[in-house]
Structure 1
């Protein structure tokens, strides 16, 4: 029988689930969690039975996923769900639980992404907030990398617009310009407060825009007196300004702002931000 025979894959998947359930039942941490979260334990068992079987068949990191789902996962999701009153615990929709567990199978070693998946699953298990969790949110997380997931939190948690600038070379006559740097933020080191350069930021922000999480505008700007005081001191701007300019061109920055969209607000709530 060929190694990729569908029947063999299905049998292997069933065996895997049996191992996961047995390991979870023998795990003292899970037993302790079940003492306080009986309803949650039942929900998790149903989720494993109903969802993990088909996911295991397509999991390329088979051994690592098996270790995670039989070890850390039951305790981690129990901790996320511990604040849900028992009467409000519901079985998450398969359209959310299935893809979420699949995402966890591939990213459980990346804390920023794993946190998003676990929080989304816990939201879907809470009858009071389950409607906030949307299947599209799983796809959004899948299209973020770990650094994306870390940095987008700032934008999604901010209740106000964030100042952002675009550096461009204004050509002689002032009618045309050439963009040199897109989507420049005032990134700083949390310890020293020194400016931090990250050449990946413009592409990340374009990705957040594409996913509908934030919007960026350069035809409007914030009016606070110090909102853009940092811009002309950024190393990117200083470096480009010192570059020899031809034909009387001048390097300037265009003020703008970035803010979360309504979709971004709902996504933030669903992943616990």
Structure 2
């Protein structure tokens, strides 16, 4: 392990040794040790997750009727297997990788299994994955952006991507960040130039925790520029993309 002399020196500080342990585990993982991922303290947990991952893959592949079995697409299954070992500590993500791997040998699904799905899964958080579950049953949801507006028609965005399916509305900023990430990877699109059905679909904003922060920011803006006089709620739609439809069918 000559590549990590800074961290394996017995005289190194405890934080440095801890970093060394983690880097060593990752290095060993890359050359075949697929059980110890982060450190010895996490070995049992990781081993359990690894075994659960193997079980999921076995079950999903064995459930495919023989007449639908096909040779896997190497450009998908190879990167999927290689990448998945770093993400199996998340139940949602290992489920996605297991679904993706099984789809590559299923003639009913493989045409929708895009090579980009490997990279997309790698860039999702567990919260991102949980948000996508909502789009299994619906193509779109109402979305709200909160602006502070002045008398001249100018505005400052206070918070955007406020959706009603948030399980914990207090964490609306985390949800908004996840929506932004899902936009970035091409799974969701948010448009504030169109509206979702009737105005009543946006009534959830009237009791939303974001209002407290928005009113505080409006007061701060007014102290700087008295022309800022009100909050506006821009009503829009959050929609899943065609790529998302395939991703959900294959990976969720």
Report if TM-score (shorter chain) is over 0.5: yes
How many Å separate the matches in 1 of 2:236 and 2:117?
A: 27
1-side partners of 2:234 and 2:49: how far apart? 49
Aligned residue number for residue 73 of structure 2? 93
Count how many residue pairs are aligned between Structure 1 and Structure 2: 215
Say whether residues 1:181 and 2:159 are aligned partners: yes
Q: Kindly report which structure 2 residues correspond to 1:151-230, keeping only aligned pairs within 5 A, or say none.
A: 151-154=131-134, 156-173=135-152, 175-189=153-167, 195-230=169-204
Shift in alpha-carbon separation, 1:256–1:77, aligned structure 2, 3 A: same
Segments ≥4 residues shifted beyond 6 Å: none
Which segment drifts farther, 164-173 or 142-151?
A: 142-151
CA distance in 2, matches of 1:182, 1:60: 44
> Which residue of structure 2 aligns with residue 22 of structure 1?
none
1:228 match: secondary structure? helix
Q: Is the 8 A contact 1:165 1:253 kept in 2?
A: yes
Gapped runs of 5+ residues in structure 1? 5-55
- The answer for the alignment partner of 1:58 in structure 2 is 30
Contact 2:166 2:175 in 1 (8 A): no
Task: Select between 59-68 and 261-270 the one with higher mean Cα deviation.
Answer: 59-68
1:146 CA displacement: 1.9
Matched residue, 1:240: 214
Per the normalisation by structure 1, the TM-score is: 0.70
Q: Which residue of 2 aligns with 1:117?
A: 97
Within 2, Cα distance between the matches of 1:239 and 1:131?
46
Structure 2 distance, partners of 1:265, 1:216, is 16
TM-score, normalised to structure 2's length?
A: 0.75
Structure 1 residue 111, shift from structure 2 partner: 0.2
Equivalent position SS for 1:200: helix
> How far apart are the structure 2 equivalents of 1:67 and 1:160?
37
Deviation at 1:70, TM superposition (A): 8.0
| CA separation of 1:82 and 1:162: change in aligned 2, threshold 3 A | same
**Aligned CA distance change for structure 1 residues 228 and 239 (closer, same or farther; 3 Å):** same
User: Is the partner of 1:106 in helix, strand or coil?
Assistant: coil
SS in 2 for 1:148: helix
Q: Does the Cα contact within 8 Å between 1:187 and 1:197 map onto a contact in 2?
A: no
Closer/same/farther in 2, CA of residues 148 and 69 from structure 1, 3 Å limit: closer
Q: Distance in 2 between matches of 1:169 and 1:159?
A: 31
| Alpha-carbon distance change, 146 to 61 in structure 1, aligned in 2, over 3 angstroms | farther
